[in-house]
Amino acid sequence: MTSVIKDVFIKKINSIKRDRYCKCGFLFSTFEKFQKLSKLKKSRPSSLWKNDRILWYAIARYNSYLKALKKAFQKIKLKRKVIFKNNDFIYHTYNNKHKLPKFKNKKDFLNYTRKESYNSDHNVKILNIKGKSWLEVKYENKPKVKVKIDDKKQTISNIIKNPDYWWLREFYFPNKENTDRLDKDKFRKEIEEFYKSVCSYVTELKYNQDFFIQNNPEAETWKNSQTWQIYTKIR
C-alpha cells in the first residue's frame, strides 16, 4: 500500500512529481504528465492520513468478506484447488466444475477473471441482519450456510494491531509516537477515532472505485466491478 507524501509541479516538463511512501518503508517518486494544470494544492498530513486510513480500511473490509466466504465454503465442505500459479501469484477456487483455459502469464489470467464469473454453481448473498453483515451461501442442493462478517470495529481493530499502522501515523504526525500502540487506553481511543472517521467519510464521492484503483495500483481486484459492489455493501 502506498501513499502520496508530496506533490511538486515541474513546469519545464509539464508534469507532477509525486513523492510516495510504501508501508514497507520504501520511499520513491512517480511522474504524471498533464495537458493543463492550474495552481497545485499542497496536501495536508491530516488529509493524506484520512485517505490512507480509508484505503487501509477498504482492503481489510474486503478481506473480511473473503474470510467469511472461506468459512462458508468450509462448512459446505467444498475442496479448494489451485487453478493458476506462478512464482509470485496463486489463485484458488472452490468451483470444482469450472474449466479454465491455459494462461501464459498473470496479466492474461487477471484479464480473464474480470470478464468471467466463477460463481456460476453457487449463490452468494450479503445480508443485513440487525445492523450486522452476514454471508448466505447456497451450493447446488446443499443446505444454505450463513456466516457473520466481521463488523466495522473488529475490522479496524485488526488493522491497528499491525505495527505498520502506528509507524505510518508517526510519519504523518511526529508528535504522536508509534509506542502508543502499547497503551491500552490509547489503543482503544485510536479505534474510536478511526471508527468515527470511517463513519463520517467512507461514503464520500471522492472515495469511489477510481480512488482505490489509483491509490492501490498493485491490487488488480479493485478494477473488478463485482469487488466494488461487494465492498459498497459491507463498507
d(CA 230, CA 137): 14
Q: Which of 36-40, 101-105, 143-147, 154-158 has the lowest mean pLDDT?
A: 36-40
| Maximum mean pLDDT: which of 34-48, 126-140, 193-207 | 193-207
* 72 pLDDT higher than 90: no
Residue 189 has pLDDT above 90, yes or no: yes
Burial class (CB in 10 A: 0-12, 13-18, 19+), 67: middle
pLDDT of residue 124: 85
Q: How many percent of the chain have pLDDT more than 90? A: 42
| Mean of all residue pLDDT scores within the chain | 77
pLDDT of residue 149: 95
Ranked by mean pLDDT, which of 74-78, 84-88, 222-226 comes out on top?
Answer: 222-226
Asked if residue 36 has pLDDT above 80, the reply is: no
69 band by pLDDT with thresholds 50, 70 and 90: confident
| pLDDT score recorded for residue 85 | 58
- Work out the pLDDT band at 81, boundaries 50, 70, 90: low
Across 145-159, average pLDDT: 94
Distance CA 161, CA 165 (A): 8
DSSP string, 146-208: EEEPP-HHHHHHHHHTSHHHHHHHHHH-TTS-GGGGG-HHHHHHHHHHHHHHHHHHTTSTTSS
Reported pTM: 0.69
Distances (CA, A) of 28 to 3, 7, 10, 46: 10, 12, 17, 21
Nearest to 166 by CA among 148, 147, 190: 190
What is the average pLDDT across 122-133? 85
